[in-house]
Structure 1
Amino acid sequence: MKRIALIFLAAFVGGAAAIGGYKMFEADNNGLSLAEQQNLHFASNPTNISSAGAVDFVQAAAGVSPAVVHIKTTFASSGNSRGSSPMDMMEEFFGGGGSRRQRAPRAASGSGVILTPDGYIVTNNHVVDNAEKIQVILSDRRKVEAKVIGRDANTDLALIKVDATNLPVVKMGNSDNVQVGEWVLAVGFPLDLQTTVTAGIVSAKSRSIGILGREQQQPTQEEYEEYQRTGKAPSRTNQSIESYIQTDAAINPGNSGGALVNANGELIGINAAIASQTGTNEGYGFAIPVNLAKKILDDFKKYGSVKRGYVGVTFQELNADVAESLKIEDITGLYVSDVMPNGGAAAAGIRKGDIIKRVDGKEVFASPDLQEKIGRMSPGEKVQITLSRAGKEQQVSVTLKGDESIEKPKTIFASKATGTTIDKLGASFAPASPALKAKYGVKSGVVVTGVEPGQQFDDFNVPKGFVVTTVNGKAVNTVKDMEAALPTSNNGLTTITGVGANGTFTFKFR
């Protein structure tokens, strides 16, 4: 009996010490990263969920659903329409073909995932961008206001915070371990319904769909108005990082910012976009990998913004067609088109014409293979890059540099000062990048970065991202080329040819 009493006493003292230690850490966790807070929480609160190979998702859904929240946002009625609706990203990828952008809604909704018991919540940037008020509806139906800790358009991630305690949490998993064909669940608030769980498989990894780059090229209303007043174009460059997990789990408007979890109930991605011609699920959903999100979210928590490192190169993906046009034999890897003078690549000796084959030993086939890896790193960190130069491989160590090393090419607007002919187009343009030209298999082009309602391009439903290749039969690569080619029309009939997501088009007008 005495032995049993001693065992009981020892267990009691040990449990009390563990609880006391946890409470001590819990009281002072502001200095911990989100991952460290999660490790502390789940070490003290073990989950009881199904194994990764289970076909029955009941336990995983039950464990995750309470920590996925409904986010409702309100906007000023006269606010800037760009990015103000959680559905903007989805609308951009729905294939609307240049339909006019409507005024910003007064209210919209999305989803979010609770990461810590004290109220840190991850969602999409496009869910909270420009919102005047952010309201979070918790699983117990409480409504609490949230503040933005940080947001990043380059990855479409945002971290918000609510003033609450003892909240349910979704455990962050390891998206590097996700396999094509693996069962996954999408959890969120689609179409303003209550918590909804759908199941599917991982269809692909490291998927780039170009949606963030197109969104960044569109000038804001404030930028355009500033340009009209001063003639000064804003400094803009595409620094977006896309390396999505593609799934066929049903994702609809309202799922933005919600959880993509494995059968273990672990968060592996943040649902961000769908590919659809109708505006609802057609079997292609895209989620931001959680391993990329971890670094971004911790930067938000520490600094309020992202501290991003850069290699300092521009490149294009190689395939058989691109290799043929460049007159090289390599058909895999990333062809270095240019090297930034002040970047880490230049310091490491990387040259134009080099081909990036591996990053930290991992083979590189497409831009997401490089971008996601670098996106998880900070300025000052080193990355090992294996190059092919003149048919021979060599390895270099690149120290990543910060924003100061990146050149800021300017977006060029179609200026009213150039005359009524180009003004009639009612669009803004920028030179098409080598990667974009390679994507569409063209040698010339300027990309449409914005379309004004009621003008010529709008009447023809020319969308952002469309690449104008020739004007009146002449190849164009800059706005000056367009200005020079437009007056050469015969009998006042202007002919413009270009290519976009839906194919090659030629349209004529007077």
Structure 2
Amino acid sequence: MKKSPLLFAWFLCCYFYAANCMAQEKPMIITSPGMPFVSLEERQLIQNEQVDFNLPKPTGINTSFRYAAARAIPGVVHIIATYEPGFKGLEEYGFRAREDHPGMSPAVLEQGPVTGSASGVIITPDGYVVTNYHVANRAESLEVVLANRRSFKARIIGMDSLTDIALLKISEQSLPFIRFGNMDSVAVGDWVLAIGSPMGMNSTVTAGIVSAKSRIFTSQEEQGQLSSFIQTDAVMNSGNSGGALVDINGRLIGINVGILTPTGNFAGYSFAIPVEVVKKVCNDLLRNGRAIRASLGVYISNTPGMPGVLVYKLVDKGAAAKGGIQVEDIIKEIDNGEIRSVGDIQQTLVLHHPGDKIHLKVIRKGKLVSCEVILGGTQGVMEM
């Protein structure tokens, strides 16, 4: 298959310094054994609604984004990540050190640590911050700089490469944070704001619309990674990784992750991880230190020319086999949601845990059949 010249580029903006390396931060779980688990949603409810900045709430068609920006900006942070000397991971994200920094000598680049600039979102008043896996992965230290310029060292609570999410913790209380929104509250064509630190410029706000709610990337899909994203035309560039995508009420609907571009710079296509995925994965990381995945127990493929997903093999004694799914079934719906592609199934499963019950509608020999499946568990990606 011919490869597209477009690059799905991550937003990690990186710089290089000759300095001593800092001690590596270790992923950890900071909830105490025996203490009741408090979800991120519950932590948001503990603190009363934040001040509304004396701005009128938007009504009807609103052409000013002052309310949303004022409400969300304090909850978006600048993240400075330091990596080991000679770190080569930049090339994964479309950065080439000597071309981007022609004034830096090869000796400095090989010996000095690499420092990356990205963004993050405070999601609880007690200091939990979400950013991207590709920002936190292999970082020797992470510094979180608030909108008011206060700075804190961050600890990694957990990371998940398949959804590109990392959960961090800073030691501070009564922080401004962004409340979770709901993807069902926005539609294609609705206004959204992207907030982050592109090129190191803190608290930068850009506006756009929701261009698509479930944009599927086949390359991500084939690797078993999260492949369904919110698409927007809000301008994003290097350093926007981990920043906020908010609705006109200033509520979080996504975490910014990448752009589709032929040049490495913004070309009109930006993407964010849906907030429902962010909430589920971050709660998993908070409770377990890792994401807990559900498995349907099927090998599947897209059905060219028609919506739906073909089951071409079942995992022996897997969840689907136990629930009555058969080879050559075409999955059309899960829990009343339309299934058009493999990416839709991945998007559905990433929101579930092992033991959850789902309802499927499949086409079997020309007839619509309903099945009930209790999901199994998996440590890896869904088989395809």
Question: Partners in 2 of 1:212 and 1:109 — Cα distance?
Answer: 24
Contact 1:344 1:398 in 2 (8 A): yes
Question: Which of these residues, 90, 115, 123, is aligned with residue 131 of structure 2?
Answer: 123
Question: Partners in 2 of 1:89 and 1:176 — Cα distance?
Answer: 31
TM-score, L = length of structure 1:
0.62
Gaps of 5+ in 2: 1-34, 97-108
Amino acid at match of 1:318: T
| Residue in 2 that maps onto 1:158 | 166
TM-score, L = length of structure 2:
0.81
1:178, distance to aligned residue in structure 2 (A): 2.0
Question: Which of these residues, 327, 342, 345, is aligned with residue 352 of structure 1?
Answer: 327
| Residue in 2 that maps onto 1:226 | none
1:363, distance to aligned residue in structure 2 (A): 1.5
Once the two structures are superposed, the pairs formed by residues 258-407 of structure 1 within 5 Å of their partners are 258-320=243-305, 331-403=306-378
Contact 1:68 1:187 in 2 (8 A): yes
Once the two structures are superposed, the pairs formed by residues 178-257 of structure 1 within 5 Å of their partners are 178-210=186-218, 212=220, 238-257=223-242
1:172, distance to aligned residue in structure 2 (A): 0.6
| Residue in 2 that maps onto 1:440 | none
Contact 2:143 2:153 in 1 (8 A): yes
Question: Partners in 1 of 2:379 and 2:269 — Cα distance?
Answer: 37
1:257, distance to aligned residue in structure 2 (A): 0.3
Structure 1 position 61 matched with structure 2 position 46 = no
Higher normalized helix content (fraction of residues)? 1
Contact 1:153 1:212 in 2 (8 A): no
1:39, distance to aligned residue in structure 2 (A): 2.5
Amino acid at match of 1:40: I
Contact 2:221 2:343 in 1 (8 A): no
1:406, distance to aligned residue in structure 2 (A): 7.1
1:161, distance to aligned residue in structure 2 (A): 0.4
Q: Deviations over 1:143-201 (max 9, x none)?
A: 11001101101000110000111110101100133200010000000011121000000
Amino acid at match of 2:363: S
Structure 1 position 132 matched with structure 2 position 107 = no
Contact 2:221 2:342 in 1 (8 A): no
Amino acid at match of 2:158: G
Q: Deviations over 1:219-263 (max 9, x none)?
A: xxxxxxxxxxxxxxxxxxx43122100000001110010000011
Question: Which of these residues, 42, 53, 63, is aligned with residue 36 of structure 1?
Answer: 42
Contact 2:132 2:164 in 1 (8 A): yes
> Secondary structure at the residue paired with 1:132?
strand
Question: Partners in 2 of 1:46 and 1:193 — Cα distance?
Answer: 25
Contact 1:51 1:264 in 2 (8 A): no
1:368, distance to aligned residue in structure 2 (A): 2.9
Amino acid at match of 1:125: Y
Question: Partners in 2 of 1:73 and 1:138 — Cα distance?
Answer: 15
Contact 1:257 1:272 in 2 (8 A): yes
Question: Partners in 2 of 1:57 and 1:407 — Cα distance?
Answer: 40
| Residue in 2 that maps onto 1:479 | none
> Secondary structure at the residue paired with 1:353?
coil
Amino acid at match of 2:364: R
Amino acid at match of 2:322: A
> Secondary structure at the residue paired with 1:295?
helix
The number of equivalent residue pairs is 335
Q: Deviations over 1:415-447 (max 9, x none)?
A: xxxxxxxxxxxxxxxxxx7xxxxxxxxxxxxxx
1:343, distance to aligned residue in structure 2 (A): 1.9
Amino acid at match of 1:207: R
Higher-RCO chain (CA-CA 8 Å, sequence separation at least 6): 2
Q: Deviations over 1:105-124 (max 9, x none)?
A: 71111100000111000111
Question: Partners in 2 of 1:373 and 1:51 — Cα distance?
Answer: 33
Question: Partners in 2 of 1:67 and 1:241 — Cα distance?
Answer: 25
1:213, distance to aligned residue in structure 2 (A): 5.5
1:351, distance to aligned residue in structure 2 (A): 1.9
Contact 1:122 1:160 in 2 (8 A): yes
Which runs of 4 or more aligned residues in structure 1 lie more than 3 Å from their structure 2 counterparts after TM superposition? 43-49, 87-92, 102-105, 210-214, 404-408
Contact 1:343 1:405 in 2 (8 A): no
Contact 1:64 1:170 in 2 (8 A): yes
1:211, distance to aligned residue in structure 2 (A): 5.2
Question: Partners in 2 of 1:405 and 1:107 — Cα distance?
Answer: 31
> Secondary structure at the residue paired with 2:139?
coil
Contact 2:214 2:228 in 1 (8 A): yes
1:78, distance to aligned residue in structure 2 (A): 4.0
Question: Partners in 2 of 1:309 and 1:268 — Cα distance?
Answer: 23
Amino acid at match of 1:357: K
Contact 1:155 1:212 in 2 (8 A): no
> Secondary structure at the residue paired with 1:172?
coil
Amino acid at match of 1:383: I
> Secondary structure at the residue paired with 1:309?
strand
Q: Deviations over 1:258-290 (max 9, x none)?
A: 000011111000000101111111100000000
Question: Partners in 2 of 1:313 and 1:243 — Cα distance?
Answer: 19
Once the two structures are superposed, the pairs formed by residues 463-474 of structure 1 within 5 Å of their partners are none
Amino acid at match of 2:262: Q
Q: Which structure: larger Rg? A: 1
Question: Partners in 1 of 2:181 and 2:300 — Cα distance?
Answer: 31
1:293/1:78 CA distance change after superposition, 3 Å: same
Question: Which of these residues, 144, 151, 158, is aligned with residue 143 of structure 1?
Answer: 151
Contact 1:250 1:281 in 2 (8 A): yes
> Secondary structure at the residue paired with 2:295?
coil
Question: Partners in 2 of 1:173 and 1:52 — Cα distance?
Answer: 18
1:44, distance to aligned residue in structure 2 (A): 4.5
1:68/1:405 CA distance change after superposition, 3 Å: closer
1:52, distance to aligned residue in structure 2 (A): 7.2
1:341, distance to aligned residue in structure 2 (A): 1.4
Contact 1:207 1:368 in 2 (8 A): no
| Residue in 2 that maps onto 1:175 | 183
The CA RMSD over aligned residues, in Å, is 2.5
